[in-house]
Amino acid sequence: MSTPADHLVTRLLDRVNAGDDTATSELLNVAYRDLRALAAVVFRSEAPGHTLEPTAVVNEVCLRLMKSAPGPGGWTDRNHFFRTAARAMRNILTDHARAKKALRRGDGAGKRVSLDSIEHPAHAGGVDLIALDEIIEKLAAYDPRLGTVFELRFLAGLSVEQAAAVADSSPRTVERDCQFIRVWLRRELYQ
């Protein structure tokens, strides 16, 4: 079900794609609340005492989106915009984890990725984001749609219906994708 804010985002995206220089800033202001909610979901899976705050991550996402704002025909729709934002958020968290690991000089303090920590991130107490990023990249190389579904369902914490809307798929397709992802992860993590 669409909301008035959804329609406003769509209208602003149309303006961005038409080359309106002020529309990107307006778009980010309107989408900020949704981006903040997405960050809150992502941070539920982080270990306590994480040195980044959701607000800082959202601000960085906004900066990256403004710098990389596509020209005409760029963000194809609202869902594409939010997929791009979710990927930027993942990249920020992964870059932060890499920087922390470099400071520790690879002392192995990162937590190994487990299937349980991915499927139930709220109870995992954090995961090794670098290893998780490598897994996502491998999955996305195998099938880009599966990489997107993984990000939306397991990282952003969207429901099947929400992920289906953002991925422009049916809920049944997302459910099948999630089943495949679980099997694929089991093979990758425990081979």
Segment 14-29, tens digit of pLDDT: 888 888 878 888 888 8
User: In angstroms, rounded to a whole number, what is the distance separating the alpha carbons of residues 143 and 160?
Assistant: 19
Least confident range of 8-22, 41-55, 119-133, 170-184 = 119-133
Measure the CA angle with vertex 133, ends 132 and 139; round to 5°. 90
Contact 39, 57 (CB under 8 A): yes
Residue in 91, 95, 86, 92 with CA at minimum distance from that of residue 37: 86
User: In angstroms, rounded to a whole number, what is the distance separating the alpha carbons of residues 74 and 32?
Assistant: 19
Question: Which amino acid is present at 94?
Answer: T
Instruction: Region of 125 please: left (phi>0), alpha (psi -120 to 50) or beta.
Output: left
Q: What is the pLDDT of residue 173?
A: 94
pLDDT per position as a tens digit, 95-144: 887 777 766 654 444 445 544 545 544 444 456 677 777 888 888 899 99
Contact 65, 146 (CB under 8 A): no
Threshold 0.75, pTM exceeds: no
